[in-house]
Structure 1
Amino acid sequence: MKEVVPLTEGWSLHHNGNPLPATVPGCVHTDLLAAGEIPDPYTGLNEREVQWVGRRAWTYARDLAPADTAADSHERTDLVFDGLDTAATITLDGRELGRTRNMHRRYRFDVTGRHGRLHVEFASAYDEAGSVRALTGERPNVYPEPFQYIRKMACSFGWDWGPTLVTAGIWRPVRLERWSTARLAEVRPLVTADDGTGRVELHVAVERTGSGAGRPLTVHASVGGVRQRVTVDGTRAVVTLDVPDVDLWWPRGYGEQPLYDLEVTLVEDGPQERRLDSWHRRIGFRTVRLDRSADEHGTGFTFVVNGVRIFARGVNWIPDDTFPSRITPERYRTRLTQAAEANVDLVRVWGGGIYEDDAFYDTCDELGLMVWQDFLFACAAYPEEQPLRGEVEAEARDNVVRLMPHPSLVLWNGNNENLWGFRDWDWEPALEGDSWGGGYYLDLLPRIVAELDPTRPYTAGSPWSGSWDHHPNDPAHGTHHSWEVWNRRDYAEYRDSVPRFVAEFGWQAPPAHATLRRALPGEELAPDSPGMLHHQKAEDGNGKLNRGIARHFELPEDDFDHWHYLAQVVQARAVAAGIEHWRAHWPVCAGTVVWQLNDCWPVSSWAAVDGDGRRKPLHHELRRVYADRLLTLRPGPGGPALAVINQGAALWRATVTLRRLRADGTVAGHTTVEATAGAREVARHAVPRDLVPDERSGKEFLVADADGLRAVHFPVPDKEFAYPAPRYDVEVVPAGDGGSVEVVVTAHTLVRDLLLQPDRLGADAACDTGLHTLLPGEHVRLRVRGAGAVTADAARAALFCVAQR
């Protein structure tokens, strides 16, 4: 049987001629940080102090003893790297084993009988990119860094939410594999389901040793109690398993996520069968397709899973750490659980990051989170000449095969914004006919997917209208990225259009207060303080934040806490405005994918969960607007409209109470509406004219309540509304679970967007809910865990609301 020996110990990193202890998997920055050679680049302005690291060459080394690579009872010993970042030369005992230039591939070298000093010498990524650029010529991109000339995590060169920390290192596991006769070189399961029967068509490739050529080999496979075996014809075999009465895998909210163990074993035939190698994955049976049919509204983009049409409730995912070797399986599970808790059912892995570790996709399989996987191209024109073209093809083949067993994976996407950039960002004339990546997205990648994984749909890019007959970002055709609103407009203008599928949109806000305090120690916080500006990477980011606030509120002067609160409120309101509007137009609009779920360091950004893992108010708002049942009041030219949105499988009969209220809480009019929304349907109702608030007065608003859900409509910006000075009582009571408390807030006036910031009670504290609007006499119970003992005064100091200064 094959023997696997991890090589995690004994590594050193050579720094100025001196060896430092090295952690593998890891990277140069984390090793230098552990040795005290650099400051934490996430803190203060330290990012600037470590720029030299990415411009140096680095060497990792360790010894391979004779026993490590000796044949012993095996014929062959391979040195296997799951990830090298990025341009590396590998030598053993002074002799070169090979060279690499791709962070996103796996590598294998025959080291049978060889031993000595193993060196992995990394060139500077800048030097490698410069060498490739000299061969291919210049190509445009959206950032002044050369990430399109090297197959490396693009955002390590910085982004409008990320630091410039250009890494190098052995970032994924490395091991020795000892084997004889033959090994499983590739296992590619095509998993389908039809009329209650699951089918696994296993395409198996084997590698043989010299002595193994011609030996009789058999592949044994089993799943769901069904077993099959087939003889290997040379180096290939296909095994088909039909599993009756399978339980289907469903996205979360649509059903369960049963997973089946798929076992593959390679054996040598003979008087006594000899096991040579084995492979195991968990799979799920389901069907997935994209409905891209033309209709009277344009060209659709609707996911259909197991025959059910789905409004995708999505978030975009970026690497959860600029140093991805630090992302553990537990951290993946924590962050993806936060997504599931926000009622998310789709996670888009964005094309400027990495193909994530299997632990990411395993967790998505279990949680029912559909995965939209970008190929790794983002916001640049990519040369299609060698040496990049061969790397792109090898990378794509490697990762399609690695990831295709996961039932959560529902879409391959060719790139992020490059088709749009070619047509709309002045790339086309600048290129003057040079290659830019179109051949990858429209030819190479779809051919690879069709060959290796025909069970899943492929789309050429995001955004993409489906053909050059329409603008790549045409909202009426295919996927759309909505960035004009954040960049230039008020969030109310999300309601001006109904795209077929909104694959990116979002609004910025600063991270939690405790995150800022940790990341900017000793700084007197202000929107424009040095650390705040350094941890704001978007072009004119603070200007856009301030203009977003000022459209609705008086912009606070010399009051950072209130500015911080209002920025987070506007972020939550903005995203909610878009989702409520687009969900109300299902099935014309078939999904929203918020930019973004997570951060890779502490920064002001579009994330719902900040760089320290703390939830912003946006996270709680996503849980509300992504729930199966949603009540909305959407402004319109004829007054607000009521939408009763039901994404559940059961009929929803709702008695909706509509109240026209004055600022002092008195009722100016009320009625009830009997609304019926069928499964996966939206019921729309006009608000009676006599209940439409008088926007000229600035003293009236509308409230809709049904089944514990609430929607509010204020016809004027907050700064024009006659809010009373908010008055409320605060009481703290034990929650009854021994580790939490409940902060009970009872309103005596209208209290708009009440928010408890739990990290002000304790750095590790968390609250179960976000923004609340209370009417006079109403109360809300806010459960806080991780804060220890909390007084009413401390709780009051952590509470914020509109009109409270």
Structure 2
Amino acid sequence: MKDVTQLAEGWSLRHEEALLPAQVPGCVHTDLLAAHLIPDPFIGLNETDVAWVGRRPWTYLTDLSEQSAHERTDLVFDGLDTAAEIALAGEVLGKTRNMHRGYRFDVTGRTGALEIRFASAYDEASAVRSLTGERPNVYPEPFQYIRKMAANFGWDWGPTVVTAGMWRPVRLEHWSTARIARVRPLVTVDEDGTGRVEIHLRVQRTEQGEGKGLIARASLAGAQAEVSFDGDETVLRLTVAEPDLWWPRGYGEQPRYDLDLTLLDEAGTLDTWQRRIGFRTIELDRSADEHGTGFTLAVNGVRIFARGVNWIPDDVLPSRVTPEDYRARLTAAAEANIDLVRVWGGGIYEDDAFYDTCDELGLMVWQDFLFACSAYPEEQPLRGEIEAEARDNVVRLMPHPSLVLWNGNNENLWGFRDWEWEPALAGDSWGEGYYLGLLPRVVAELDPTRPYAAGSPWSGSWDHHPNDPEHGTYHSWDVWNRLDYTEYRADVPRFVAEFGWQAPPAMATLRRALPGEELAPDSPGMLHHQKAEGGNAKLNRGVAHHFGLPEGDFDRWHYLTQVVQARAVAAGIEHWRSHWPVCAGTVFWQLNDCWPVSSWAAIDGDGRKKPLYHEVRRVYADRLLTLAPEADGLTLAVINQSAEEWRTAVTLRRLEADGAVVREDVLDVVAGPRSVVRLPVPPELAPAERSPKEFLVADADGLRAVHFPVTDKEFAYPQPQFDIRLEPVHGQEPGERGEKDKVDVVVTAHTLVRDLLLQADRLAPGASADCGLRTLLPGEEVRIRVSGWPPADTDADTDARTADSSTDSSTAGTDAVRAALFSVDPV
């Protein structure tokens, strides 16, 4: 039986004349941070102070002394970042130049000093560029010449922190006769519900094991298969009668089955392999229709509007991301009603823990191959590395039922057409051969059970513009870059794979990242932690469309940018969801951040949820009401993505700014499963056109939509007035004490209160609230549960206190809450 020794201890990093303790997995930056030799690049302006780290070579050292009675010993690296030379006892074992692959070296019977010598990524990129020639790029960094996480070189939401090191585990594998080298389980479901698994097995043999008879046994859900073979490859087939199907969240359960594979000879077990698989079918409907060319995912025959989000690396130092980090972030995604996560092409093929969690939570995974926003040379040495990388990762990830789509690249087909690459290239290769040739061939050969798309955006062929909203996938960035978010309603793309709006991170995140700084939109730290070109100007433009731009009031500016971000993404999703099935999905940019930064993320770099997160949870819910102005009048859309019919009474109220009802009516609506009902709002219920004093509210089954016919700065808002009451969270049983770190903040409105927001992190850095923006009518109340903040005057055994928000007579707790509460004020 194969023996494995993890090489996580005993490593050193050579720095100047010293040897520093090193952690594996890890990287140079984490080791230098642990030794207090560099400042945290996430704090203040430190990013520039550590730039030197990525521009010099580094060497890791340890001693190999372990002996084994096995015939073969391999030194195995799951991830080397990036250009490395591996030497044992002074002899070079090999060289690597790809962060996204694993490597294996024969060290049988050998001991001595092991050195991993990493070249500067800049030097490696320069060497490759000298071979391939220049290629255009959207950023002034050479990431297209090296198979490394592109985002290490900076992005419009990320710092330039160029890493090196053993970023995934290192081990010794001792084995005899043969080992399992590769397993490809092709999982399919017949029309009659029969599940089939075709296991393609490849082995590696020792010299003594050549030609020996081997046995492979597989088992799954009571089914078994066994084959004898004397070559290097074989196929085992398993059949499971009517297995329970894996479904995306919201469509069913996520059952998985243990697939076990054992390799034996006459003496016993040589090696084992085990994964959890799921049975489901996945199709991508790209057929033409009267609206253009579709892009609709169907799982187990059910067509799905994908409620998606884009995922970037969760840390610019990816070796620090733990399984617990993945679970926290992906659980938050599932709780926000997200059902698809797109792994973006400028990052990494994530750890198995990421895909395991998606399998469990029912989150479909759209996996980009790792190409983003650049022309990529197709010559050697890159072409061979890219094919090997694709083969490694297709095989590694294909057992996961959550994986539903392989995608060739991010924005490169679009870039070739629109970003002036074509004349600059003058006929040189730029990646088209990868996206339309190499990668679909690899997927078809290794994983024919899943669809492949050449890129995002991509219209399906050069017959249409790559970013044509009527054909295939579409990226909507003109709105953020140039327009008001209401322009999302101007078209109905077939599938919106990217769109988004920026906002700063939470206030506690800013205070941690920019200690001692007097915060202002243009203060030094704020500008440094804003990586988008013209980002602050675009934030201000977005605010100014709807509000008076606050001058000299950072707290107000911070709140309004959060409001606009949440409203913008909601406006797009509401509009596009209301046009299902013409539009078959939205994948907003982005779920997470890799450091503290002003960005498009719903969860900031410290893990705090922005108001956008809570708004996404609302607009991605199975059931949703929307009110939208369209060319022929105001439209009510009743959206039902659940499997059950939705019969509801929608109450429409035309109201004045003071809350007085001008007109009220009830519409009985029946929305079938997975359907949308679009109804014109009766003219007598629609607010007068451009009225600054009237608005419309739609309510049904606890859901609400609002429509204001003018911008906020034009509307006659009353001065918001509301009461604040703090209530302890009591235990479940009589006499049981409450949860000491939780309190309910109950806000009762006396006027219209638009987009009320409690920024809980202003109460305490670890505090969080369970909801985001809420609009209250006079007499309504909202209960906001705050965790991580035990106010001194609120206890499970005390009475709740009450304070009028317009007075100064309050307890310390309500004073603190009042300071953390924001809403839209009259201009």
Q: Return the TM-score normalized by structure 2.
A: 0.96
Measure the CA separation in 2 of the matches of 1:719 and 1:639. Answer: 23
CA distance in 2, matches of 1:601, 1:724: 39
Given the alignment of the two structures, is residue 240 of structure 1 paired with residue 237 of structure 2, yes or no?
Answer: yes
Give distance in 2, aligned partners of 1:214 and 1:584: 63
1:184 aligned to 2:206? no
Q: Give the match for residue 129 of structure 2.
A: 133
- Counterparts of 2:85 and 2:212 in 1: how far apart (Å)? 35
Pairing 1:497–2:491 present: yes
Q: Which residue of 2 aligns with 1:746?
A: 748
Equivalent position amino acid for 2:246 in 1: W
Distance in 1 (CA, whole Å) between partners of 2:198 and 2:826 is 63
Q: Given that residues 586 and 681 in structure 1 are in contact (C-alpha distance below 8 angstroms), is that contact kept between their aligned partners in structure 2?
A: yes
Residue 776 of structure 2: aligned partner? 774
2:820 aligned residue? 798
Matches within 5 A, 1:657-696: 657-696=651-690
CA contact (8 A) 2:656 2:694 kept: yes
Work out whether 1:257 is the aligned partner of 2:251.
no
1:78 and 2:65 are equivalent in the alignment: no
Q: Secondary structure at the match of 2:181?
A: strand
Q: Secondary structure at the match of 2:154?
A: coil
CA contact (8 A) 2:717 2:826 kept: no
Q: CA deviation at 1:795?
A: 1.2
The answer on whether the counterparts of 1:86 and 1:152 sit within 8 Å (CA) in structure 2 is: yes
Provide the rounded CA distance (Å) in 1 between the counterparts of 2:382 and 2:228.
38
Contact 2:342/2:366 (<8 A) preserved: yes
Q: Contact conserved, 1:647 with 1:680, CA < 8 A, in 2?
A: yes
Paired letter, 1:558: G
1:60 and 2:56 equivalent? no
Q: What is the distance in 1 between the residues matched to 2:234 and 2:240?
A: 20
Which SS does the other structure have where 1:565 is aligned?
Answer: helix
Q: How does 1:558-569 map to 2 (within 5 A)?
A: 558-569=552-563
CA distance in 2, matches of 1:13, 1:802: 54
- Asked whether the equivalents of residues 718 and 826 of structure 2 are also in contact (C-alpha less than 8 Å), the reply is no
For 1:126, the aligned partner's letter is Y
Which ranges of structure 2 fall in alignment gaps of 5 or more residues?
732-738, 793-812
Q: Report the counterpart of residue 203 of structure 1 in structure 2.
A: 200
The aligned residue for residue 805 of structure 2 is none
Counterpart among 283, 293, 296 of residue 289 in structure 1: 283
Q: Does residue 1:704 correspond to 2:706, yes or no?
A: no
Note the alpha carbon deviations across 1:761-783, whole angstroms, 9 max, x for none: 11111111111000000000001
Aligned partner letter, 1:217: L
Task: For 1:151, give the aligned amino acid.
Answer: R
Distance in 2 separating the partners of 1:308 and 1:463: 24
- Contact conserved, 1:288 with 1:410, CA < 8 A, in 2? yes
Q: How does 1:283-362 map to 2 (within 5 A)?
A: 283-362=277-356
Q: CA deviation at 1:233?
A: 3.8
Name the structure 2 match of 1:449. Answer: 443
Instruction: Show the 5 A alignment for 1:461-472.
Output: 461-472=455-466
Letter in 2 for 1:109: F
Q: What's the counterpart of residue 8 of structure 1?
A: 8
- The share of aligned pairs that are identical, in percent, is 75
Aligned counterpart, 2:97: 101
Aligned to 1:440: 434
Letter matched to residue 762 of structure 2? R
Q: Distance in 1 between matches of 2:613 and 2:472?
A: 27
Task: Find the aligned partners of 1:451 and 1:397 in 2 and give their Cα distance.
Answer: 10
Give the structure 1 partner of residue 808 of structure 2. none
Matched, 1:116 2:112: yes
Counterparts of 1:722-741 in structure 2, within 5 Å, are 722-737=716-731, 738=739, 739-741=741-743
* Amino acid across the alignment from 1:207: Q
In the alignment, the residues of structure 1 paired with residue 418 and residue 344 of structure 2 have an alpha-carbon distance, to the nearest angstrom, of 21
1:736 CA displacement: 1.7
Partner residue in 1 for 2:29: 29
Which residues in structure 2 correspond to 1:484-633 (within 5 Å)?
A: 484-633=478-627
- Do 1:693 and 1:715's aligned partners in 2 also have CA atoms closer than 8 Å? yes
- One-letter amino acid of the structure 1 residue matched with residue 195 of structure 2: G
Deviation for aligned residue 1:639: 2.8
Amino acid corresponding to residue 245 of structure 2 in structure 1: L
Contact 1:249-1:255 at 8 Å conserved across structures: yes
Q: 2:227 aligns with which of 223, 230, 234?
A: 230
Question: After TM superposition, what 4+ stretches of structure 1 lie above 6 angstroms from structure 2?
Answer: none
The 8 Å contact of residues 224 and 238 in structure 2, kept in 1 or not, is answered as yes
| Contact 2:716/2:826 (8 A) holds in 1 | no
Aligned partner of 1:789 in structure 2 is 791
> 1 CA distance for matches of 2:826 and 2:690?
23
Q: Are 2:212 and 2:230, in contact at CA under 8 Å, matched by a contact in 1? A: no
**Residue 51, structure 1, aligned to residue 51, structure 2:** yes
Taking the aligned partners of 2:392 and 2:286, their CA distance within structure 1 comes to: 28
Which moved further from structure 2: 580-589 or 213-222?
Answer: 213-222
Report the counterpart of residue 17 of structure 1 in structure 2: 17
Secondary structure in 2 matching 1:640: strand
1:80/1:175 contact within 8 Å kept = yes
Output one character per residue of 1:547-594: Cα deviation in whole Å (capped at 9) or x when no partner: 000000000011000100000000000000000000000000000000
Q: Over aligned residue pairs, what C-alpha RMSD do you find? A: 0.8
Amino acid at match of 1:183: R
CA distance in 2, matches of 1:17, 1:200: 55
Distance 1:696 1:507 in 2: 26
With 534-543 and 758-767 compared, the bigger mean Cα shift is at 758-767
Q: Deviations over 1:267-297 (max 9, x none)?
A: 003xxx5100000100000000100000000
Distance 1:697 1:510 in 2: 32
Cα deviation for residue 17 of structure 1 reads: 2.1
Structure 2 residue matching 1:163: 3-state secondary structure = strand
Question: Alpha-carbon deviation of 1:794?
Answer: 1.2
The residue aligned with 2:211 is: 214
Paired residue for 2:88, among 83, 87, 92?
Answer: 92
Query: Given the alignment, which residue of 740, 745, 761 partners 1:759?
Result: 761
Q: CA deviation at 1:429?
A: 1.1
Cα shift at 1:637: 2.9
Tell me if structure 2 keeps the 8 A contact 1:640–1:713.
no
Q: Name the aligned partner's letter for residue 175 of structure 2.
A: W
Give the stretch that moved more between structures: 4-13 or 226-235: 226-235
Shift of residue 804 of structure 1? 6.8
Structure 2 residue identity aligned to 1:82: D
CA distance in 1, matches of 2:112, 2:616: 55
Is 2:35 the counterpart of 1:41? no
Cα separation, 1, equivalents of 2:229 and 2:354: 33
1:153 paired with 2:149, answer yes
Is residue 756–residue 775 contact of structure 2 (8 Å, CA) maintained in 1? yes
Structure-2 separation of matches of 1:262 and 1:651? 38
Q: Helix, strand or coil for the counterpart of 1:635?
A: strand
* Separation in 1, partners of 2:783, 2:258: 44
Range that drifts further, 688-697 or 2-11 = 688-697
The amino acid across from 2:109 in the alignment is G
For structure 1, the residue ranges without an aligned partner over 5 or more in a row are none
Show CA shifts across 1:234-255 (max 9, x none): 0011000001120000000000
Return the alpha-carbon distance in structure 2 between the equivalents of residues 338 and 766 of structure 1.
Answer: 13
* Secondary structure at the counterpart of residue 158 of structure 1: strand
Distance 2:283 2:293 in 1: 15
Of 157, 160, 163 in structure 2, the residue corresponding to residue 164 of structure 1 is 160
State the 1:121 CA deviation.
Answer: 0.2
Structure 1 residue 71: Cα displacement: 3.6
* Partner-residue secondary structure (3-state), 1:48: helix
Instruction: Output the CA distance in 1 between the equivalents of 2:789 and 2:388.
Output: 50
CA distance in 1, matches of 2:184, 2:17: 45
Q: Distance in 2 between matches of 1:36 and 1:227?
A: 55
Is the 8 Å Cα contact of residues 211 and 230 (structure 2) preserved in structure 1? no
